[in-house]
């Protein structure tokens, strides 16, 4: 759960895209603490990407549109600083790995951000080395990004933002185009960054199994509104709310809800396979 | 069709030239060729570009792809120039009788018309491979660095190279769209006559343009999110330095262009 002081503060934030009639986000109040791993869940067009882009200032500085309320990241109001300046506090990884890799070598891709900050070459190389080690891509420096697998490309995109040394890593459905192996690679790298380096992680995703396994807190967005938040356990227990929001809970949680529906009382509410195994064993032992 | 424009790794002498030397070659040849009015010089420049292509050890099949891609336009221009260019030595008499007002006497083919059409074709064939010859032998980050060291603001240099970089991506996307259409029995691009093909193009171009705009926006977001434009200057982990061979190449290019222009004006 919350491990540090409040770092991201959204106060009554509403946002409407240019030429849109309805709000993509409406009345969102949210505090994210330093070092937290927060997952954002919601169906398509629930406002997940909008929320992610609010965190690094792409909205409203780049996208335009009408924004109300305030977003403060590490003491900086996103309206008052440019996206490029905010990049040193918040790094964002987008859904499509192809669209965010635009150089011909892995090393150049990771160095692109620090080069923009006009750092010394030694400092840049040190950051590149650290970022590639953190995402387990050392040794691939000279490879063209196009030759990497989907999971490797997305890890490279993460390394590219890590080299900016941001305090918050935002992933906007960064695993939605990956196979299970690629998804697992990305989640484990992100989790390591959160655990070992204390990096704050905000991740918009549909992968409820991974949310159950890794996240400290889950947020549920529905039609632009933040309708629930809590630990993954608390959130996945609310079957009716999840159904209304179009979110599929982890399969073990569905099983738990089924067992509860048939008066088979569980002592806890399992959201991972390990927890479910323990609960079922307990149930069987109890006769 | 194979992707073009995209960097093609290699160790040829052309690959090892400084990007500035290659950019100088690109600019000089592209500016000089349109001024060539003499057929032999245009053919000589075409042969020079082809020789450089071979020396860069770039696959000739990619050049063949270019011919296929531009073939329709070149053939069209050839016919139009051959018919419309005025001349004395008539090879085929005018199709339209001279008595017809305004357009009478047109539609014939003269020797001068044919030679002019060959000149235009040679100039086009010489110009078309120059840009890919440079971009396919220069990694994109070094191409940017070359432009920056030549005095272009780095934001503008990246705009140029990002646009160039988008071409192979769009090529791949066009292929996907055409495959999707083919799967639904849409075969206008393969079997249709030119008019049917022209009518079918919006079906290809519309999703392509929408996709390109979306992709361009995502790239812009990704670049800005990595601090692009945060500072007036930026550093580069690799640097470039002009070697004696680069100066020799630039000298030879300048001399070649001057001789071509001079000979052209003397002969024409």
For residue A63, give how far its alpha carbon lies from the nearest alpha carbon of chain B (Å).
9
Which residues of chain A does B222 touch, with a Cβ-Cβ cutoff of 8 Å?
A: 94, 99-100, 102, 157
Query: Which residues are paired to A171 by β-bridges?
Result: A93, A203
- Write out the H or E segment, with its range, that includes residue A262: none
Which of A17-31, B70-84, B85-99 shows the highest mean pLDDT?
A17-31
Among A56, A76, A101, A108, which would you mutate to test the B interface (most chain B Cβ atoms within 10 Å of its Cβ)? A108
**Domain extent listing, chain A:** 6-249
pTM summary value = 0.79
Taking a contact as any Cβ pair under 8 Å apart, which residues of chain A between 128 and 167 contact chain B? 128, 157, 160-161, 164
Quote the CA–CA distance of B80 and A52 in Å, as a whole number: 56
Quote the CA–CA distance of B148 and B125 in Å, as a whole number: 29
Of B160, B61, B144, B216, residue with least CA distance to A105: B144
Cβ contact, residue pair B221, A58, below 8 Å: yes
The per-residue pLDDT for A179 is: 83
Of B163, B120, B118, B117, residue with least CA distance to B140: B163
* Per-residue exposure over A179-189, b if at least 16 CB sit within 10 Å of its own CB, e if not: eeebbbbbbeb
The per-residue pLDDT for A2 is: 47
The per-residue pLDDT for A3 is: 63
Of A159, A163, A155, residue with least CA distance to A185: A155
Collect all residues with Cβ–Cβ distance below 8 Å to B148 and sequence separation of at least 6: B154, B157, B236
The per-residue pLDDT for B1 is: 45
The mean predicted confidence, pLDDT, of chain B is 86
pLDDT in tens, B210-242: 988 888 888 888 888 898 888 888 999 988 999
Residue scoring higher pLDDT (A166 or B108): A166
CATH of A6-249, one of 1.10.10.10, 2.40.50.100, 3.40.50.620, 3.40.50.300: 3.40.50.300
The per-residue pLDDT for A285 is: 81
At residue B114, does pLDDT exceed 70? Answer: yes
Name the phi and psi angles at A67, rounded to 5.
-120, 135
Percent of chain B whose pLDDT exceeds 70: 94
Compute the C-alpha angle B242/B244/B247, nearest 5°. 70
Residue B24 near residue B257, CB atoms below 8 Å: no
Taking a contact as any Cβ pair under 8 Å apart, which residues of chain A between 35 and 54 contact chain B? 53
Residue A46 near residue A224, CB atoms below 8 Å: yes
Query: Residue A9 has what DSSP assignment?
Result: E
Name the phi and psi angles at B133, rounded to 5.
-60, -40
The per-residue pLDDT for B243 is: 95
- Residue A96 corresponds to which tokens in the numbers above? 């499509």
Q: How many CB atoms sit inside 10 A of residue A82's CB?
A: 15
- Residue A192 corresponds to which tokens in the numbers above? 């390591």
Could you tell me which chain B residue has the CA closest to the CA of A111?
Answer: B237
3-class SS string, A35-62? CCEEEEECCCCCCHHHHHHHHCCHHHHC
- Residue B45 corresponds to which tokens in the numbers above? 């420049």
Which whole-number Å values give the CA distances from B160 to A239, A243, B124, B135, B169, in the listed order?
52, 48, 22, 12, 15
| pLDDT band of B105, cuts 50, 70, 90 | low
The per-residue pLDDT for B191 is: 72
Compute the C-alpha angle A164/A167/A234, nearest 5°. 135
Name the phi and psi angles at A23, rounded to 5.
-80, 135
Which residues of chain A does B218 touch, with a Cβ-Cβ cutoff of 8 Å?
A: 94, 96, 99-100
Long-range contacts at B201-207 (CB < 8 A, ≥ 24 apart)? B204/B174, B204/B177, B204/B178, B207/B177
| pLDDT band of B107, cuts 50, 70, 90 | low
Residue B195 near residue B157, CB atoms below 8 Å: no
Of B7, B225, B230, the CB nearest to A92: B225
pLDDT in tens, A89-125: 999 998 888 788 888 889 999 999 999 999 999 999 9
Instruction: Outline where chain B has alpha helix (H).
Output: 13-16, 19-32, 39-55, 60-84, 111-127, 130-135, 140-149, 154-183, 188-191, 194-224, 244-267
- CB of B160 within 8 Å of a chain A CB? The answer is no
pLDDT < 70 positions in chain A: 1-3, 265-266, 287
Residue B240 near residue B20, CB atoms below 8 Å: yes
Query: Residue A250 has what DSSP assignment?
Result: P
- CB of B176 within 8 Å of a chain A CB? The answer is no
Among A116, A129, A202, which would you mutate to test the B interface (most chain B Cβ atoms within 10 Å of its Cβ)? A116
Query: Which residues are paired to A219 by β-bridges?
Result: A40, A229
What ipTM goes with this model? 0.81
At residue B165, does pLDDT exceed 80? Answer: no
At residue B188, does pLDDT exceed 80? Answer: no
């Amino acid at each position: 759960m919350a491990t540090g002081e409040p770092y991201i503060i959204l106060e009554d934030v509403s946002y409407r895209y240019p030429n849109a009639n309805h709000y993509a986000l409406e009345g969102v109040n949210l505090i994210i603490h330093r070092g937290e791993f927060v997952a954002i869940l919601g169906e398509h067009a629930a406002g997940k990407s909008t929320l992610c882009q609010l965190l690094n200032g792409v909205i409203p500085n780049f996208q335009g549109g009408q924004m109300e309320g305030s977003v403060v990241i590490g003491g900086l109001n996103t309206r008052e600083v440019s996206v490029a300046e905010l990049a040193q506090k918040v790094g964002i990884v987008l859904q499509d790995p192809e669209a965010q890799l635009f150089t011909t070598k892995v090393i150049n891709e990771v160095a692109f951000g620090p080069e923009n900050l006009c750092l010394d070459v030694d400092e840049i190389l040190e950051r590149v080395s650290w970022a590639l080690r953190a995402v387990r891509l050392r040794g691939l420096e000279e490879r063209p990004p196009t030759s990497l697998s989907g999971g490797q490309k997305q890890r490279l995109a993460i390394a590219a933002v890590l080299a900016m040394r941001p305090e918050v890593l935002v992933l906007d459905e960064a695993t939605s185009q990956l196979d299970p192996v690629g998804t697992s690679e990305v989640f484990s790298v992100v989790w390591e960054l959160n655990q070992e380096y204390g990096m704050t992680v905000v991740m918009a995703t549909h992968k409820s199994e991974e949310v159950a396994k890794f996240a400290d807190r889950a947020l549920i967005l529905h039609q632009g509104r933040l309708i629930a938040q809590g630990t993954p356990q608390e959130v996945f227990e609310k079957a009716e709310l999840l159904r209304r929001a179009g979110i599929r809970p982890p399969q073990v949680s569905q099983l738990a809800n089924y067992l509860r529906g048939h008066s088979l009382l569980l002592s806890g509410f399992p959201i991972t396979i390990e927890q479910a195994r323990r609960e079922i064993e307990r149930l069987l032992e109890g006769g | 069709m194979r992707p073009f424009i995209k960097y093609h790794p290699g160790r040829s002498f052309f690959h090892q030239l400084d990007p500035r030397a290659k950019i100088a070659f690109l600019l000089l040849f592209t500016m000089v060729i349109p001024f060539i009015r003499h057929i032999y010089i245009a053919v000589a420049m075409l042969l020079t570009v082809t020789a450089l292509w071979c020396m860069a050890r770039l696959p000739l099949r990619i050049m063949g792809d270019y011919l296929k891609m531009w073939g329709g336009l070149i053939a069209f221009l050839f016919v139009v120039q051959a018919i419309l260019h005025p001349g004395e030595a008539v090879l085929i008499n005018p199709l339209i009788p001279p008595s017809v007002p305004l357009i009478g006497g047109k539609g014939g083919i003269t020797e001068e018309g044919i030679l002019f059409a060959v000149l235009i074709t040679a100039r086009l064939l010489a110009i078309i491979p120059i840009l890919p010859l440079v971009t396919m032998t220069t990694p994109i980050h070094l191409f940017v660095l070359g432009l920056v060291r030549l005095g272009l603001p780095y934001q503008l240099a990246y705009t140029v190279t990002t646009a160039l970089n988008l071409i192979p991506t769009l090529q791949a996307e066009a292929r996907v769209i055409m495959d999707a259409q083919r799967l639904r029995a849409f075969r206008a691009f393969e079997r249709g006559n030119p008019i049917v093909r022209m009518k079918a193009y919006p079906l290809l171009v519309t999703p392509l343009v929408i996709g390109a705009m979306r992709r361009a926006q995502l790239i812009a977001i990704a670049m800005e999110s990595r601090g692009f434009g945060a500072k007036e200057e930026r550093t580069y982990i690799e640097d470039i330095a002009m070697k004696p061979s680069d100066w020799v190449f630039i000298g030879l290019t300048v001399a070649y262009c001057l001789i071509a222009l001079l000979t052209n004006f003397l002969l024409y």
